[in-house]
Amino acid sequence: MFYDHAAARYVSYQERLTNFCFNWGLPSPRWYRCSEQRGRRTAWSSLVGIGRFAFSCRFWFDVNYIKNADDDAAELALGYLESRCQFWRRSSQRRFRILVGYSRTSYSVFLFTRT
């Protein structure tokens, strides 16, 4: 959970992930739930899909806490996507590299673009 001081409320990882995908122009996240019989009880897990990426939660939960499974999967997805988008932002800022060559009589400026 994340506390938003401006709105004075807790923001879930699901909401943060949805906003992140919207801001970066990624497909909206879709949550999938799966269950597994464990004796007399059923354990539940959650998976979030964003485009071609899929992130599964780390633990199995009781049905009463299925929202925690969704939050766990969203937390993992958000952590991965934020780290990747920081890399994309850094690499796009260094898009052009200037190489200055000079001799005794003149100098030249070459502009290389990344491919």
Q: What is the CATH number of the domain that holds 30?
A: 3.30.160.20
pLDDT at residue number 112:
40
Quick one: pLDDT at residue 113?
A: 41
Residues 100 and 35: beta-carbon distance below 8 Å: no
* Burial status of residue 45 (CB atoms within 10 A of its CB: 0-12, 13-18, 19 or more): buried
Which is nearest to 36 in space by CA: 62, 71, 55?
Answer: 62
Q: What is the reported pLDDT for 109?
A: 40
For residue 21, CA distances in Å to 55, 72, 98, 100 come to 14, 17, 33, 40
pLDDT for 33: 93
Q: For the chain, how many structural domains are there in total?
A: 1
Instruction: Show the low-confidence residues of the chain (pLDDT under 70).
Output: 1-9, 87-115
Boundaries of domain holding 61: 2-113
- Predicted pLDDT at 31: 92
